[in-house]
Amino acid sequence: MLPTIEEALKELHIAGELNPGPWVKHSENVGIAARNIAHLVPALDEDKAYIIGLLHDIGRRVGIVNIPKHVYEGYKYCTDRGRDEAARICMTHSYVFMKDEFNYDPETLEEKEIKQYIISCGAADEYDKLIQMCDALATDYGFVILEKRFVDVTRRYGIMEDYIKGWNVIFEIKEDFENKMGCSIYDVLPDIGKTTLLNSKPWTPPRQEN
Ligand SMILES: [Fe+2]
């Protein structure tokens, strides 16, 4: 069962009060990108795309957390509320290679559960792919072309094994959606030309007062 758009927006707002940061605006923009793209893909429901986009990072409500932690927290949060479709996206959005991400034995219980879940999903479905791609297109200050986002992230965190393979997965998803839409994904992302040319400084968390 999916929450309504109003419920999803409200939950994101509450989560943003619990853990303020650019992730909240980023989540809103992932929702908008997913909705606009889904609008032109006959097999996709644009309201569902919007809602799962808004909630994909909801696990960040518990604090500034790494990939397995925010994935797991989001999955738990949605599952506890009976929202299986949103829970799935909380899991799959960070693993573009799906089961192939897990050719190792995870150490923590959380990661073991993530591995089991992702394996049980099989291949990525259209909604998994949509949010994996929109996650890369949407920043807190708007939409940017994939090349820009990939370079920004790599400059910030360094190049890691399989990065370029991951980029290629996202470019394949882009081409696939564009064939279904009959236009470029960039045609439906407001002001992408302008925001792509902006240079925004990396965000740093506010200092805690003791
Ligand atoms: Fe995200």
CA 106 to ligand 1 center in whole angstroms: 22
Å from CA of 137 to ligand 1 middle: 10
Q: Residue 204: pLDDT band by 50, 70, 90 thresholds?
A: low
| Mean pLDDT of the region 16-42 | 97
**Distance (Å) from CA 192 to ligand 1 centroid:** 18
DSSP-derived letter for residue 60 is G
Tell me how far the alpha carbon of residue 139 lies from the centroid of ligand 1, in angstroms.
9
Task: For residue 149, report the distance from its CA to the centre of ligand 1, in Å.
Answer: 12
Distance CA 40, CA 182 (A): 8
Ligand 1 center from residue 135 Cα (angstroms): 5
Distance 103 CA to ligand 1 centre (A): 24
End-to-end Cα, the chain, rounded Å: 42
Q: What's the average model confidence in pLDDT over 76-91?
A: 98
> What's residue 127's pLDDT?
98
Q: Where are the domains of the chain?
A: 5-196
Please give the Cα distance from 30 to 25 (Å, whole number).
9
Residues counted in the chain? 210
User: Residues 178, 170: contact at Cβ < 8 Å?
Assistant: no
Higher-confidence residue of 108 and 201: namely 108
Could you tell me whether strands 142-143 and 138-139 are parallel, antiparallel, or unpaired per DSSP bridges?
antiparallel
pLDDT 10s digits, 171-184? 999 999 999 999 99
Q: How far is the CA of 79 from the centre of ligand 1 (A)?
A: 19
Q: Which fold has domain 5-196?
A: Hypothetical protein af1432 (1.10.3210)
Residue corresponding to tokens 């089991």? 116
Q: With beta carbons less than 8 A apart as the criterion, state whether 5 and 50 touch.
A: yes
- Compute the distance from residue 198 Cα to the ligand 1 centre, in Å: 20
- The whole-number average pLDDT for the span 113-138 is 97
Closest CA to 26 of 142, 125, 109, 106: 142
Distance CA 146, CA 169 (A): 12
